[in-house]
Amino acid sequence: MPKQTFVLNGERVTVKVADSERVLWVLRDLLGVTGPKYGCGINVCKACTSHINGKAFNPCSVKVGDLQPDDEITTIEGLADTADGDLHPMQEAWIDRDVPQCGYCQPGQIMAAVALVRKVQREGGTITESDLDGIRNICRCGTYTRIREAVRQGARRM
Amino acid sequence: MHESDTSARSTTERSHSDGGEVVAVGPAGLDRRRFVGYVLGGATLVTAADLTLGRAPARGAVPSLPQIPEIYDLEDLQTDAALPTSQLITVTIREDGTAAFELPRMEVGQGIVTSTAMILAEELDLPMRKVEVTLAPARPELIFNQLTGGSNTTVSTFTPIRVAAAVARQQLLEAAAARLGTDADRLSTISGTVVDAAGNAIPYGELASDAASQVVKQVGVTLRPREEYRVIGTGRKRTDARAAVTGQKDFATDLDVKGAKPTMVCRPPTHRGRPVRLRNRKQILKMKGVTHVAQVPTGIAVRAKTFGQCIDAIRKMDVEWDLGDLAGENDESILEGLRAAELPMAVPDVPILAEQVDLGFEFMFRSSAALEPFAAIADVREDRAEIWAGLKVPILAQQNIAQILGMSQDQVKVNVVTGGGSFGHKLFSDHAIEAAQISQAMGKPVKLMWHRADEPRQGRMHPMCTSRVRATMLAGQVLSFEQRHTSVVTDFSHGLGEIITSTIDEAPTEVGRYLGGLGFSETIFTLTQELPYNLGAVTQLLNETDQRFSTGSMRNIYSPDVCVAAELTMDELARRMGKDPLELRLELCRNDRVRAAIEAVAERGNWGRKMPKGMAQGIAVHKEYKGCTAVLVEIDCRPRTVDRKVRNAVTGPRVTKAVIAVDAGLVINPIGLEAQMQGGFMDGLALTLTSSCHLEDGRFLEASWDNYFYTRQWNVPPEMEVIVMDPDVDQPGGAGEAAVGSSAAAVACAYARATGEVPTRFPINHDTISFRPKSFIPPVPKSPTNGLKFTY
Ligand code: FES
Ligand code: FES
């Protein structure tokens, strides 16, 4: 069985698993990192959204064999460590706007929001209505309005 | 939003000790705030109250032509359901000064853990952070008191929880009085501490064991009056928000139960088909990671080291299927059956002199699946079984599982896990039962998860239905309003049915006599439907037909569809009379609380403002759950909006603004209520515009969120406002489902006004299939591997 090595939330990990296994199951079933959620397995619902080298990606749709040893994977569990303070500003905004309902989609929502804000900031802009319209993450509890508010609020402190 | 007030609360009027004297009991007594609770025997202070407390007394005289829900509705029925049984819920004060309470309900995102903590904090005079609310495992003795549904949680638990908490606070005061050598009524409490005028302060924790009792004793208490509320009615954020945003909140599949390996099921192509046999069992067992394969009634289960390996195995399975009773059926054939079952109207269709509005609406199948798919962990051994799952009726799950496993009920332990949303889905225990069957068949613990594709295809559906409305007018007056709702059978086997049979006798006589002759579905329908308008002779009747589908409620049962049909008819009546929709509603409104809500949205939403062609406002109201909601929306149906492109998505008309007014009676947590309204709106929006399942040859075409178009950010109104009404009442109402019907209806009304055409089939995009159906054999899609192409 091949060995897979990558950096997970700041620590190098090595797992024995086939190249074709999707990263989501390596994280959840083998490494016990359960923040990224399953909602479709086909890159549609975005519940599993995490970061690879600072950018958003969906581990349900990436083979673990495609990761390089130096690739840095950040899940919701490791997000706070990427910023100063106890929590990431986006997590704080989420708490402040009381966004979550059942909470199932929220790790993915927050990871997507952070990447979106970074992208918009890289491009020198600020979050617009159409940026918010473009967020693909599903929330079956319908917390969309508060997500929109929280993304804007979190962005101001990023 | 501060934790707690620091001023002391006095005890005057609050410390009626038991001392053998019996205090006026419960709601029958003169004082509506005086109740009897209990102190249970134990090492620390444990107090209790009967879950059945708080039943409203006589419900007043019957007006001449009331609809049933005005006198007695589903909330009353659920609240009354437990009256004959005596069942205790308990509050424990621990030696560290915290209070613990096990809520006999399930949290699925509706915020009841937070609102329950608020109620306890209020009555105990304890900061919120010292109140710990957990979910109770299945408690058979509670029977049907342990059912989360019908937005009933707060309505039915409000009084009992307060009574148990008040008894606890009173016992702590007594214990402090004994220690300080004074009387309890000279003491007061501040935020978890008992204090006296001399400056002595004893934290609850230190008093917990003193306050404990060797024996069970009965105690009378008086509840805090509404004027003294400091926590109830203030906005409180969810107690579990931090866990949710850091990934620490655990759902069923996140639990680490020893040996419970990932397990999935290969399911039939047709809805409710059945497996005959797996032809390549040996080959599957040889696959990487696979440990076990077993046939169960719903399909072929596979257990492996990862869910990825389960998916791979399912995709390789060669299964012989029995296609079941639905093979060959499609939307149209089912609709035909419904039309044939429609009950006749009483008013003839060619009335003399009068003018008539005759409308027919169709509502397609919808999937009630939450984002967390069905999942459950089961560890079934020879002589016992343990289950972990999100369940709204855990007792029934326990009964069913015991029966299926051939065990007695006490051999089965059912743990309730917070659910990733429910919307009625988790009223049933399909997932827990299936997991138990698989674990038994394999002889191993399993962590069962449904694939997303399984949900719209085999999961619970909101039934397809039709609603016909006929209204007659004469000289500008509405003389009659008849609605005939015809639905594919709604499954009520989750317990609501049993509640009804056991409770009918408890209902006020006239109501009981009426309901006694009806079946479960008709009873629920009758108890929930109520038009808040004066429309002359009103009849709303339900008929159900066709038992072949797996169905259930979906954030409400009949109301959203009934409401859409009725409110579109109201608009049509207004049009025929040459009246403004708002004007007609206010003119015919027969309830002041409803009127206030309509007026609130009309004013805040600037009803009647000029809009460009292709845009319009819509207004609708729904009365249920001891309150009502009114919704005003603005919709943009202009071609450039409707045709805007988003990859793999349905765009269509855009609601640009929504204003919701909610009257939910006494509000516990306005922030939580607002969240429920927003969520309900997103559901209503999807019901009217985008979300449905298509039946073709017995198979549902939808298999994921890129086929089943629940509301997405590109559909969400950029402007949204919630107005919380203050009706000045003592009882809380329900909120979980309240906004769905009025939202769906307001959007439908706005759409009709913007396009000039009254839509008759919902959702409006049902007739366009905008995706390529995923394969049925194998029944689950392959996970893509190109994810790194889409990073951002
Ligand atoms: S589970 Fe990865 S996108 Fe849905
Ligand atoms: S909070 Fe429940 S799915 Fe988003």
Query: What is the tens place of the pLDDT at every residue in B431-456?
Result: 999 999 999 999 999 999 999 999 99
- Asked, for residue B775, whether it belongs to a domain, the answer is no
B781 touches chain A (CB under 8 A): yes
**What string of H, E and C letters represents the secondary structure of B430-495?**
HHHHHHHHHHHHHCCCEEEECCCCHHHHHCCEECCEEEEEEEEEECCEEEEEEEEEEEECCCCCCC
In this structure, the answer to whether residues B303 and B202 fall within a common structural domain is no
- Residue B101: the pLDDT is 84
CA distances from B656 to B127, B217, B526, B749, B758 (A): 40, 59, 35, 14, 20
- Asked, for residue B433, whether it belongs to a domain, the answer is yes
- Residue B499: the pLDDT is 47
Ligand 1 near A15 CB (within 6 A): no
Ligand 2 near A100 CB (within 6 A): yes
Q: Which residue of B has its CA nearest to A48?
A: B247
Contact B221, B14 (CB under 8 A): yes
Mean per-residue pLDDT for B245-250? 95
Contact B245, B43 (CB under 8 A): no
In this structure, the answer to whether residues B628 and B549 fall within a common structural domain is yes
Residues making up chain A, counted from first to last: 158
In this structure, the answer to whether residues B562 and B432 fall within a common structural domain is no
In this structure, the answer to whether residues B723 and B614 fall within a common structural domain is yes
Q: Does A39 contact B371 at a Cβ distance shorter than 8 Å? A: yes
Q: Which of A101, A110, A146 sits opposite B245 (nearest CB)?
A: A110
**Cα A75 from Cα A9, distance rounded (Å):** 7
Q: Is A150 buried (19+), middle (13-18) or exposed (0-12) by CB count in 10 A?
A: buried
A155 touches chain B (CB under 8 A): no
Contact B127, B4 (CB under 8 A): yes
A59 touches chain B (CB under 8 A): yes
- Asked, for residue B791, whether it belongs to a domain, the answer is no
Residue B142 has pLDDT above 60, yes or no: no
- Residue B546: the pLDDT is 87
In this structure, the answer to whether residues B675 and B748 fall within a common structural domain is yes
**Cα B326 from Cα B305, distance rounded (Å):** 35
Beta-carbon neighbour count of residue A54 at 10 Å? 12
Pairing of strands B45-50, B34-40: antiparallel
In this structure, the answer to whether residues B193 and B211 fall within a common structural domain is yes
Q: Cis omega before residue B763 (within 30°)?
A: yes
Ligand 1 near A25 CB (within 6 A): no
What is the residue type of B348? P
Contact B396, B380 (CB under 8 A): no
In this structure, the answer to whether residues B214 and B306 fall within a common structural domain is no
- Asked, for residue B287, whether it belongs to a domain, the answer is yes
Residue B69 has pLDDT above 70, yes or no: no
B180 touches chain A (CB under 8 A): no
In this structure, the answer to whether residues B147 and B265 fall within a common structural domain is no
- Residue B57: the pLDDT is 35
Task: Show which of B214, B244, B274 is a domain's final residue.
Answer: B244
**Cα A41 from Cα B664, distance rounded (Å):** 39
Q: For residue range B474-493, list pLDDT tens digits in order.
A: 877 888 888 999 999 887 66
Q: Kindly report the average pLDDT of chain B as a whole number.
A: 84
Q: For residue range B637-656, list pLDDT tens digits in order.
A: 999 999 999 888 889 999 99
- Asked, for residue B92, whether it belongs to a domain, the answer is yes
**Cα B29 from Cα B27, distance rounded (Å):** 5
- Residue B157: the pLDDT is 76
Q: For residue range B190-226, list pLDDT tens digits in order.
A: 999 999 988 899 999 999 988 887 777 778 888 888 8
Residue nearest to atom 4 of ligand 2 (CA): A139
Lowest model confidence (mean pLDDT) among A36-40, B366-370, B678-682: B366-370
A94, A44, A126, A132: which is closest to B713 by C-alpha? Answer: A132
- Asked, for residue B551, whether it belongs to a domain, the answer is yes
**Backbone φ, ψ for residue A30 (5° rounding):** -100, -35
At B352, the pLDDT band (50, 70, 90 cuts) reads low
- Going from the first residue of chain A to its last (158 residues), give the mean pLDDT of each consecutive group of 10, the final group possibly shorter: 95 97 98 98 98 98 98 98 95 96 96 98 95 97 97 97
In chain A, what are the domains?
3-75 (3.10.20.30), 85-156 (1.10.150.120)
Provide the 3-class DSSP secondary structure of residue B412.
Answer: strand
- Residue B219: the pLDDT is 81
Percent of chain B with pLDDT over 90: 55
Q: Which residue has the tokens 């054999």?
A: B777
Top residue of B253, B287, B291, B371 to mutate, by most chain A CBs within 10 Å, is: B371
Q: How many domains are contained in chain B?
A: 3
Q: For residue range B692-716, list pLDDT tens digits in order.
A: 999 999 999 999 999 999 999 999 9
Top residue of A72, A109, A121, A144 to mutate, by most chain B CBs within 10 Å, is: A144
Mean per-residue pLDDT for B660-670? 92
Range of the domain at B681: 331-366+461-762
Top residue of B312, B636, B713, B743 to mutate, by most chain A CBs within 10 Å, is: B713
ipTM surpasses cut 0.90? yes
- Asked, for residue B788, whether it belongs to a domain, the answer is no
CA distances from A58 to A105, A110, B690, B783, B784 (A): 13, 13, 25, 11, 10
**Backbone φ, ψ for residue B628 (5° rounding):** -160, 165
Q: How far is the CA of B556 from the centre of ligand 1 (A)?
A: 28
Residues making up chain B, counted from first to last: 792
Task: Show which of B220, B244, B268 is a domain's final residue.
Answer: B244
Which residues contact residue B585 at a Cβ distance below 8 angstroms, ignoring those fewer than 6 apart?
A: B533, B570, B598, B619, B621
Q: Does A144 contact B713 at a Cβ distance shorter than 8 Å? A: yes
In this structure, the answer to whether residues B335 and B319 fall within a common structural domain is no
- Residue B250: the pLDDT is 93
- Residue B421: the pLDDT is 63
A4 touches chain B (CB under 8 A): no
**Cα B168 from Cα B194, distance rounded (Å):** 12
Q: Cis omega before residue B779 (within 30°)?
A: no
Residue B727 has pLDDT above 90, yes or no: no
Residue B641, Cα to own-chain centre: how many angstroms? 33
Residue B119, Cα to own-chain centre: how many angstroms? 20
Q: For residue range B260-281, list pLDDT tens digits in order.
A: 999 999 999 999 999 999 999 9
Mean per-residue pLDDT for B250-265? 96
In this structure, the answer to whether residues B675 and B645 fall within a common structural domain is yes
Pairing of strands B761-762, B355-363: parallel
DSSP, residue by residue, B184-225: GGG-EEETTEEE-TTS-EEEHHHHHHHH-BSS-EEEEEEPPP
Of B101 and A58, more confident: A58
Q: For residue range B597-609, list pLDDT tens digits in order.
A: 999 999 999 999 9
- Asked, for residue B355, whether it belongs to a domain, the answer is yes
The pTM of this model reads 0.88
B309 chain-A contacts, CB cut-off 8 A:
21, 25
Q: How far is the CA of B669 from the centre of ligand 2 (A)?
A: 19
Lowest model confidence (mean pLDDT) among B210-214, B613-617, B660-664, B680-684: B210-214
In this structure, the answer to whether residues B653 and B705 fall within a common structural domain is yes
Q: For residue range B308-335, list pLDDT tens digits in order.
A: 999 999 999 999 999 999 999 999 999 9
What is the residue type of B741? G
**Cα B746 from Cα B765, distance rounded (Å):** 17
Q: Which of B305, B372, B449 sits opposite A104 (nearest CB)?
A: B372
**Cα B709 from Cα B713, distance rounded (Å):** 11
Pairing of strands B477-488, B537-545: parallel
- What Rg, from alpha-carbon coordinates, does chain A have? 15
In this structure, the answer to whether residues B711 and B575 fall within a common structural domain is yes
Task: Show which of B244, B278, B306 is a domain's final residue.
Answer: B244
Ligand 2 near A137 CB (within 6 A): no
Interface of B with A in 572-591 (CB under 8 A): none
Beta-carbon neighbour count of residue B614 at 10 Å? 17
CATH number, domain of B116, equals: 3.30.365.10
Structure-block tokens of residue B483: 């609605």
Q: For residue range B502-516, list pLDDT tens digits in order.
A: 454 444 444 444 444
- Residue B4: the pLDDT is 40
